[in-house]
Structure 1
Amino acid sequence: MYPFIRYATTIAHAALQVKKGNTLPLSKVGEITLRWRLTDIDNFLEMNNGRVLTLYYLGRTDFAVRTGLGKQLLKQRWGLVVAGSTIQYRKRIRAFDKVTMKTQIVAIDKRWIYVEQSMWVKGKPCSSALLRTGVTEGGKVIETARVLAALGKADWKLPPTGYVAEWIESDQDRPWPPMD
């Protein structure tokens, strides 16, 4: 089941942080803390891989609200989309572990915003995800220049380099499944 209560709580907490003046610049790392719950379980009594991806959504939500993107999404009637992702798992998250989730923008190109997220338990990385995300209007991805201008960051440049650029390039070579 989708974690609707956690989602609502994340939005409320982030909005409260903004109200207190604890905003987050786009160039910084957002951080939230949560606990593993029984609803996150798989048959090995650890956090389910699919749940990890779902909970990463909470980190992106907090990041969007605290950076002001959430406000612009409402004002402009924009939406968000994930157009691709890759994830690595390094350490299991076990029952009732306290998890620190970090979210940051690692690259921006003409159309996409590349977000890196990671989960940490007791100072050790457990998983890391790289996502290709976009802002949509009328169901279509808009140029990042419009998004950055709405956030007052029109001159901010963060071109893809290193592993992000390599992922973008290798993803372009990936074939789609054949149509039957």
Structure 2
Amino acid sequence: MNLWFRLIWLLLTSPFRPKLKPLADPSLLDFRVWPHDLDTSLHMNNGRYWSLMDLGRTDLMLRTGLWRAVLRHRWVPVVNAGMIRFRRELRPFRPFRIETVILCWTESWLVIQHRVLSRASDGSEIVAAHALVRAALYDRAGRAYVPVARLMAEIGTAQASPLPGPEVEAFLASEDAMRESATLASDRKVESTFRINPMR
């Protein structure tokens, strides 16, 4: 339920926050660790990071104006793959910030980086968690992912994708390997089922 309150807060405050330059400016959202964010170790639950990162992507969509096209065409935001590295724990009542930025893109997919940022006792910045996700918008009517070029047209920009960094290349290569592994496992299961129950 607490995420609903945070989402409502985001929707209500978004019109009063600066607009973001499409595919360039990061979203920055400030939060605090509340008791309902904790796990049994009394620090922020691992799953909560992913949920709050959803709000970062929502903020990007709202403050770049992309939400208008999403509602008009009834597109659905989807995440195809994600990877996260936890670096520091977040204890109760600690303030933190989620930074969300688009790193690069293909014809259909955006690679988005999330960083969970906090402060040390000396005021220096701490990266508590770092995540990469591969996201897109899905057109249910057309049963296809919306081309990134069309997204750009909807928000009035036309940029070439920056070159992916080594961490992005490794992330995408890992996702491709997992997909191939799942496909092979599925094929082996079908083959095994066929051998046990051959068609008559």
Length-normalised TM-score, structure 1:
0.90
Q: Give 2:19's aligned residue.
A: 23
What residue number does 2:75 align with? 78
Partner of 2:99: 102
Structure with greater Cα Rg: 2
Tell me if the contact between 1:34 and 1:99 (Cα under 8 Å) persists in the aligned partners.
Answer: yes
Out of 154, 162, 167, the residue aligned to residue 163 of structure 1 is 167
Specify the alignment match of 1:134 in structure 2.
Answer: 136
What is the 5 A alignment of 1:26-41?
Answer: 26-41=23-38
Contact 1:109 1:160 in 2 (8 A): no
What is residue 11 of structure 1 aligned with on the other side? 11
Q: Deviations over 1:22-54 (max 9, x none)?
A: 100120111010111111110010000001110
Cα separation, 2, equivalents of 1:5 and 1:151:
28
Q: Percent identity between the aligned chains?
A: 26
Q: What amino acid does structure 2 have at the position aligned with 1:131?
A: V
Contact 1:148 1:156 in 2 (8 A): no
In 2, Cα distance between equivalents of 1:67 and 1:150: 10
Counterpart-to-counterpart distance in 2, 1:111 and 1:98? 35
* Unaligned 5+ runs, structure 1: none
Give the match for residue 197 of structure 2: none
Task: Give 5+ residue unaligned stretches, structure 2.
Answer: 120-124, 190-200
Q: Which range moves more in the overlay, 155-164 or 62-71? A: 155-164
Q: CA deviation at 1:146?
A: 1.0
- The answer to whether the 8 Å contact 1:40/1:47 transfers is yes
AA in 2 matched with 1:38: P
Superposed CA RMSD: 1.7
1:121 lines up with 2:123 in the alignment? no
**Superposed CA offset, 1:53-89 (max 9, x none):** 1011111111111111122211222120000000000
CA contact 1:82–1:131 (8 Å) conserved in 2: yes
Q: Which portions of structure 1, spanning 4 or more consecutive aligned residues, are displaced by more than 2 angstroms?
A: 154-162, 177-180
Cα distance in 2 between the residues matched to 1:121 and 1:168? 27
* Equivalent position of 2:45 in the other structure: 48
State the secondary structure of the residue aligned to 1:99.
strand
Matched-pair contact (CA < 8 Å) for 1:109–1:159? no
Aligned residues: 176
